[in-house]
Amino acid sequence: MTSVTRALVDGPSLGFEGITVQYPGRPTPALDRVSLLAQPGLITAVVGPNGSGKSSLVRALLRRAPVTNGRVLLAGADIAVLDARSLAQHVAIVPQREEPGMALSVREFVMLGRHPRRGAFGGPSNADRQSVTDALARTGMSEAIDRATDTLSGGEWQRVRIARALAQDTRVLVLDEPTTFLDIAHEMAVFELIDALAREGRTVLLVSHQLNLVARFAEHIVLLSRGTVAAAGDVETVMRGEVLESVYEWPLVVTRDPAVGVPALLPLRGRGRGR
């Protein structure tokens, strides 16, 4: 058993240690020595305004960003020692943007999540088929199993992409803006699903701009601003008016969510616009 495998058995935390991402041609880094740790059984949320570096974290994990400093750690071990297939056996990622090169059936697309666990030859096993069925059921997309992906609405496409990640059957799940295009009911359903997955012991790293929903569900929040960590901690630590107004550069107040009592962000009309 390798040190990485042993660490994963003990507990699959996902960490970013002093990560710096510098894209060519840009004067400042997208991420500047950012560190955070997502732990098993919890939802760790990364929030911040557009351009704050949220998606660059995910790209660093995918090895699609120019990381000039720092390490990405899986259960304390550097993922640099893992090949793509091994990494995909432990971490499932739903990126923010993705379009298939050709139309597939929903069944075929979700089955792609089983690829890291299948051999080089032979068709899907009964276990693979069951994983696809279960994943679609959990995302409310069972009835779409035989539809083509290019016939899906934006919200349906988001849920099918999440189903593919669930079919991957990993203990670490990373989601970059998973509720884009979803209406209120499906948005809440996705957050409830993410919460259930964390309660089952998975490590969940959630990138989202939905601060009020994040405040309801996340145990640990990391607020990014211009590539650095502006605040990190529980919801009471991060969801403070003076912190959020400075980062988002917009007048706001922090009140209380009447449903669950956690802090809630309320943007105000622009200065000089009255009510």
pLDDT of amino acid 265: 94
pLDDT of amino acid 7: 46
- Write out the H or E segment, with its range, that includes residue 186: helix 184-199
If you search the block for the tokens 């740790």, which residue do you land on?
37
Res. 2: pLDDT tops 50: no
- The letter for the amino acid at 37 is L
143-174 confidence digits (pLDDT tens)? 999 999 999 998 899 999 999 999 999 999 99
User: What CA–CA distance (Å, rounded) separates 47 from 235?
Assistant: 12
240-268 confidence digits (pLDDT tens)? 999 999 999 999 999 999 989 999 999 99
DSSP secondary structure string, 17-76?
A: EEEEE--TT-SS-SEEEEEEEE-TTSEEEEE-STTSSHHHHHHHHTT-S-EEEEEEEETT
- Write out the H or E segment, with its range, that includes residue 94: strand 91-94
pTM tops 0.85: yes
Residue 64 φ/ψ region, left for φ over 0, alpha for ψ in the -120 to 50 degree band, beta for the rest: alpha
Q: What kind of fold does domain 3-239 have according to CATH? A: Rossmann fold (3.40.50)
In the chain, what are the domain boundaries?
A: 3-239
For the segment 125-140, the average pLDDT, to the nearest whole number, is: 95
User: What CA–CA distance (Å, rounded) separates 5 from 90?
Assistant: 10
The residues facing 16 across adjacent strands are: 36, 72
Sign for the pseudo-dihedral over CA of 260, 174, 14, 70: negative
Q: pLDDT-based confidence at 119, cuts 50/70/90?
A: low
**Segment 178-185 long-range contacts (CB within 8 Å, at least 24 positions apart):** 178/94, 178/206, 178/208, 179/208, 179/210, 179/213, 180/96, 180/154, 181/153, 181/154, 181/155, 181/157, 182/155, 182/158, 183/155
More confident site: 245 or 119: 245
46-68 confidence digits (pLDDT tens)? 999 999 999 999 999 999 999 99
